[in-house]
Amino acid sequence: MILTVTLNAALDITYRVPALTPHASHRVTEVTERPGGKGLNVARVLAALGHDVTVTGFAGGDTGRTLRDHLAPEPRITDALAPVAGATRRTLAVVDAATGDTTQLNEPGPAVTPAEWTAFLGAYEELVHREGLAAVALCGSLPPGVPVGAYAQLIRAARAARVPVLLDTSGEPLRRGVAARPDIVKPNADELAELTGSHEPAQATRDARRRGAHAVVASLGADGLLAVTADGGWRARPPKRVRGNPTGAGDSAVAGLLSGLAERLPWPDRLARAVALSAATVVAPVAGEFDPSTYSDLLPRVAVTGQVTAA
């Protein structure tokens, strides 16, 4: 079983419009509504790969209820979301059908009270000590009221329970989380530059690892992944560029890394899976889903090459 944590869960709304023009009114041609926030997207991809997943974080209000209703029929996903008095946020992705470009608008999320946070911590402690837990993923932004060092705290609890933990967040929660020594951290190029001050991905990835993470896997968008780990360094590149909606591509990369970890695959195989899943998500219309035929077509063609990792 894999546990994903989405403290700032969301109801992801995707609008498709023929062409997005500033200052114009638009007819929406297609609407989709899915459980979202990064850890929930990761969970749905893991479930599609055949893994059992427990999801936690916060859910509240009508949006929280709708989100949980969407999760209920998923046979491999167990809902362990904690209650919050405020309403779960919505995120809006507007896809321009003409160009394929996506504009993303994310609400801040419900205010979490100190009592709600304390109750969550108790439930999380119990979850990380469950028999058979293979890995924990901590994903996404923090809702208002949750302490900025929250991920560092959750990483320490997972490590104390001897469960591998992956972190995917940004800003100060990422900085503090990395210092708490997660097993894997997966920043994108902007998050990595903000963390280290370096815009050179190879140097920034090594620097992020020196700050405490055991392995750093940087997602470089259409250029694939760059990994620096205790076992070596690798570059994984997709065989071709795919066009589509990149929302959730990073979440699918996380699902690839976690599933590979749970299945004890060597690093190059985990990275190939992460890159192929990520590209197959760009082709799918919404985050948290991927196109299976694109995935199986790309997987054997991802190029994984060793990299020199010395500073």
**201, 226 contact by CB (below 8 A):** yes
How many CB atoms within 10 Å of residue 304? 19
- Identify which of residues 255 and 271 has a Cβ nearer to ligand TA6 in the complex: 255
What CA–CA distance (Å, rounded) separates 159 from 165?
Answer: 7
Residues 6+ apart with CB under 8 A from 208: 178, 185, 187, 192, 195, 196, 216, 218
Q: Which residues bind ligand TA6 (CB under 6 A)?
A: 8, 10, 12, 36-38, 41, 91, 106, 140-141, 247-248, 250-251, 287
Please report how close the Cβ of residue 82 comes to ligand TA6 at its closest, in angstroms: 17
What CA–CA distance (Å, rounded) separates 287 from 252?
Answer: 8
- Identify which of residues 41 and 229 has a Cβ nearer to ligand TA6 in the complex: 41
Query: Residue 203: which of 97, 302, 310, 294 has the closest Cα?
Result: 310
- Identify which of residues 38 and 51 has a Cβ nearer to ligand TA6 in the complex: 38
Question: What are the E-state strand segments in the chain?
Answer: 2-6, 10-17, 30-36, 53-59, 77-79, 82-83, 89-96, 102-106, 135-139, 165-168, 184-185, 215-219, 225-229, 232-237, 303-307
Please report how close the Cβ of residue 269 comes to ligand TA6 at its closest, in angstroms: 24
- Identify which of residues 78 and 106 has a Cβ nearer to ligand TA6 in the complex: 106
Please report how close the Cβ of residue 80 comes to ligand TA6 at its closest, in angstroms: 18
- Identify which of residues 267 and 290 has a Cβ nearer to ligand TA6 in the complex: 290
Please report how close the Cβ of residue 45 comes to ligand TA6 at its closest, in angstroms: 11
- Identify which of residues 205 and 247 has a Cβ nearer to ligand TA6 in the complex: 247
What CA–CA distance (Å, rounded) separates 254 from 45?
Answer: 9
Q: Which residue is nearest to ligand TA6 (CB)?
A: 140
What CA–CA distance (Å, rounded) separates 120 from 56?
Answer: 9
> Which residues belong to the active site?
251
Q: Which residue has the tokens 């990835």?
A: 205
**280, 292 contact by CB (below 8 A):** yes
- What does the angle CA 244 – CA 250 – CA 256 come to, to the nearest 5 degrees? 110
Residue 87, CA distances (Å) to 53, 65, 123, 127, 151 in order: 24, 9, 20, 24, 22
CA Rg value for the chain: 18
- Identify which of residues 158 and 286 has a Cβ nearer to ligand TA6 in the complex: 286
Query: Residue 53: which of 154, 123, 130 has the closest Cα?
Result: 130
Q: Which residue has the tokens 């280290």?
A: 196
